[in-house]
Amino acid sequence: MNPIVEIVQLSYSYKLNSKSFREALKEVTLSVQTPEIFGFLGPNGGGKTTLFRILSTYTQPSSGKATLFGFDIQKNSADIREKIGVLFQSPSLDKMLTVQENLVHHGHLYGLSGTRLQKRISELLNHFGLSQRSGEKVETLSGGLQRRVEIAKGLIHSPQLILMDEPSNGLDPGARKDLWDYLKALKSEGITILLTTHLMEEAEKCDRLGILNEGRLVAIGSPSAIKEEIGGDVLTIKTKEPKILSEKIQEKFQIKSSLLEDSLRIERTQGDNLVPQLVQSFGEEITSITLGKPTLEDVFIHKTGHRFGKKGKDE
């Protein structure tokens, strides 16, 4: 089966001043199958929003190629826009109009009208639990309900692919859970979802992830598969002199550790066996030791050498 989204060596640069440019995306290559929930995880400045803008045909890439439904984003943008639903990070609803009116006007943009449009609106209102709120102005709804209307609007023309930029932005934990219940329901109906996020717990719910850092794709796969690349355990050691302690651990145990601000990080199988040895040898220099299985944060550190978000720049 051909991928619904295919990206090959995609790059994007923009001018900082008359003499210099910045690469927001650097030769990104990946594909998205249908149906799946695919997430782009990364800190601010990682390239997520730039990639979202390119795939939604809002921005043209500097080089490389991307196709959606087999259509080239640079040659067939109009064909692509007819087939995708888009959920922007910033709200795009008219808050002075009712839920029904927002959906009607958006349907008109896609050439829908009359009985066909009313039937589709009724289906969406019922699907998202909004039937009793259809006559209410959007400004009176909670953030969670407004997000439901945003999604319904993006689905008005029955797309098979929906692009979402930070979909849970501004939502409380309860509304975020509801959102993910809806996303999984959409997937079960054969709709592919491609989203961006900077939230680790949200990324864990995706079928597959692409981790972006400073414009580069540093990891791709299911959350479990990506974490298995590290394997074993991760020890985090807090100390006042991390560089000195790192050298001592290397000398005594021939174990390399990564320096992260005021702590050391060690990846090791059966890490629990190492803990008592470290405490016995360097107890006075160690403030604390934590031991755990690899997380997506650990994957990011392993791939980039720094914590999530520490080197981010504005996208």
Convert the pLDDT of each residue in 186-242 to its tens digit: 899 999 999 999 999 999 999 999 999 999 999 999 999 999 988 789 999 999 999
Distance (Å, whole) CA 91 – CA 88: 7
In a domain, 313, yes or no: no
In a domain, 278, yes or no: yes
In a domain, 71, yes or no: yes
In a domain, 75, yes or no: yes
CATH number of the domain to which 247 belongs: 3.30.70.260
In a domain, 305, yes or no: no
Q: What is the pLDDT of residues 140-189, one digit of tens each?
A: 999 889 988 998 999 999 999 999 999 887 778 888 888 898 899 989 99
In a domain, 148, yes or no: yes
CATH number of the domain to which 208 belongs: 3.40.50.300
Given 227, 249, 279, which residue is the final one in a domain?
A: 227
Distance (Å, whole) CA 74 – CA 158: 23
Residues near 14 by beta carbon (within 8 Å), at least 6 away in sequence: 21, 22, 24
Nearest to 32 by CA among 198, 197, 187, 157: 187
Token pair 């890490």: residue: 271
Q: What is the pLDDT of residues 53-110, one digit of tens each?
A: 999 999 999 999 999 999 999 999 999 999 999 998 888 899 999 999 999 999 999 9
Nearest to 23 by CA among 178, 191, 213, 204: 213
259 in Cβ contact with 221 (< 8 Å) = no
Domain count, the chain: 2
- What's the pTM value of the predicted model, to 2 decimals? 0.85
Range of the domain at 223: 5-227
Distance (Å, whole) CA 114 – CA 308: 49
